[in-house]
């Protein structure tokens, strides 16, 4: 391994090895938590701070576009720390020759998304590179949120005996982008689930003080994210196949193309690990699409096991290399 491959950016084993390698240089207690957002002390405040670059291809897809993704992706990473997102930065790297009309469309989408999520774009940057030195446009957003309940810490580790909730059906973002990119022409009506989660997570945090971790299963999908949590929490995770929501059309396309939906990216879903006693009220706070899909166990530590519909059990391995690059 002496060169970067696409698999280094896709949420799988190689990416984690690369992150570990880079983190050696920067190791500090905040970074080492390896959460979606860093939790920082600033005077008497605690804030969440996060960054993400967006390189999705194509720029526009059913259910979203790179601008909407760039706002909601960062808003969601902040929300997963139990923080209320307030401010975002916006940095464009643009390839020479991009049509201004495309830039305008993306900008309008960013503005609309920030209004929807109630965050403000407060600082920005534009760089232009020569034709052929980028792919149309890349967007970075960083974001700041405030953690209002100073007693709690959300997002580092799951706890033994937690139930695992999800707020809706999986694998829509990845399949919508793939369908648009490869012009597969499935008249599927599959739309990306790209949306902001801050109001939902806000309700959860307000109603329960036993949420141990929330995480949005983007790159690497549900199985990738659960593996990360099982490892970092040193717990086993059990998931029930029959309870995982997936729309029939999405399942069908996954089957045809040989994609495992458990590993396909989502952009509007989150997992909420919460105590058994609070699970029902948190489920209600999330809304009608919320489902309990599994639990943490002390057996098979660091492994995610799937109870299949026919009653057998299989290990969901960490992703070796993603099924699809440039998904976000």
Residues 235-294 close enough to bind its own copies by CB under 8 A: none
**Using rule CB under 8 A, residue 134 touches its own copies:** yes
The sign of the dihedral angle between the CA atoms of 252, 255, 261, 265 is negative
Nearest distance, CB of residue 134 and its own copies, angstroms: 6
Identity of the residue, 116 or 191, whose beta carbon is nearer to its own copies in the bound complex: 116
Identity of the residue, 26 or 248, whose beta carbon is nearer to its own copies in the bound complex: 26
Count of CA atoms in the C-beta half-sphere (13 A) of 304: 24
**Using rule CB under 8 A, residue 206 touches its own copies:** no
Nearest distance, CB of residue 14 and its own copies, angstroms: 10
Return the DSSP state at 9: G
**Using rule CB under 8 A, residue 118 touches its own copies:** no
Tell me the β-bridge partners of 48.
39, 145
Q: What DSSP element (H or E) covers 229?
A: helix 221-233
Identity of the residue, 127 or 277, whose beta carbon is nearer to its own copies in the bound complex: 127
Nearest distance, CB of residue 101 and its own copies, angstroms: 7
The residues, any chain, with a CB within 8 Å of residue 93's CB and separated by 6 or more, are 127, 128, 129, 134, 137, 138, 139, 140
User: What residues numbered 52-81 form the site for its own copies, per CB under 8 A?
Assistant: 52-55
Nearest distance, CB of residue 108 and its own copies, angstroms: 6
**Using rule CB under 8 A, residue 110 touches its own copies:** yes
Tell me the β-bridge partners of 132.
none
- Of 13, 60, 64, 111, the residue at the interface with its own copies (CB under 8 A) is 111
Residue 210: count of CB within 10 angstroms of its CB: 15
The residues, any chain, with a CB within 8 Å of residue 13's CB and separated by 6 or more, are 318, 319, 320, 321
Task: Give the Cα separation of 157 and 55 in Å (integer).
Answer: 29
Count of CA atoms in the C-beta half-sphere (13 A) of 244: 24
Residue with tokens 């530590």, as numbered in its chain: 301
- Of 140, 198, 218, 225, the residue at the interface with its own copies (CB under 8 A) is 140
How many residues belong to the site for its own copies (CB under 8 A)?
Answer: 79
Identity of the residue, 138 or 273, whose beta carbon is nearer to its own copies in the bound complex: 138
**Using rule CB under 8 A, residue 129 touches its own copies:** yes
- Of 58, 62, 107, 191, the residue at the interface with its own copies (CB under 8 A) is 107
User: What residues numbered 31-50 form the site for its own copies, per CB under 8 A?
Assistant: 31, 37-38, 40, 42-45, 47, 49-50
């Amino acid at each position: 391994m002496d060169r970067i491959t696409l698999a280094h950016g896709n949420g799988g084993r190689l990416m984690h090895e690369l992150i570990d390698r880079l983190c050696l240089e920067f190791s500090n207690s905040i970074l080492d938590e390896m959460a979606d957002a860093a939790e920082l002390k600033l005077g008497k405040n605690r804030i969440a701070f996060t960054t993400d670059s967006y390189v999705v291809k194509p720029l526009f897809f059913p259910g979203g576009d790179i601008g909407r993704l760039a706002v909601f992706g960062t808003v969601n990473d902040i929300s997963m720390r139990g923080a209320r997102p307030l401010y975002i930065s916006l940095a464009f790297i643009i390839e020479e020759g991009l049509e201004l009309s495309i830039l305008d469309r993306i900008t309008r989408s960013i503005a609309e998304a920030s209004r929807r999520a109630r965050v403000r774009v407060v600082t920005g940057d534009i760089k232009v590179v020569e034709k052929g030195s980028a792919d149309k446009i890349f967007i970075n957003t960083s974001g700041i949120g405030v953690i209002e309940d100073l007693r709690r810490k959300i997002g580092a580790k799951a706890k033994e005996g937690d139930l695992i909730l999800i707020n809706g059906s999986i694998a829509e973002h990845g399949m919508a982008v793939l369908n648009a990119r490869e012009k597969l022409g499935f008249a599927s009506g599959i739309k990306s689930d790209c949306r902001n989660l801050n109001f939902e997570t806000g309700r959860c945090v307000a109603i329960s003080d036993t949420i141990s971790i929330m995480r949005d299963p983007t790159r690497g999908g549900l199985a990738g994210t659960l593996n990360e949590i099982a490892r970092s929490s040193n717990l086993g995770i059990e998931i029930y196949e029959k309870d995982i929501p997936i729309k029939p059309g999405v399942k069908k396309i996954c089957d045809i193309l040989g994609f495992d939906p458990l590993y396909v990216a989502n952009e509007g879903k989150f997992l909420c690990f919460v105590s058994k006693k609070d699970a029902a009220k948190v489920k209600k706070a999330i809304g009608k699409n919320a489902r309990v899909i599994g639990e943490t166990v002390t057996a098979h530590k660091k492994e995610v096991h799937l109870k299949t519909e026919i009653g057998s059990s299989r290990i969901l391995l960490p992703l070796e290399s993603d099924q699809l690059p440039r998904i976000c």
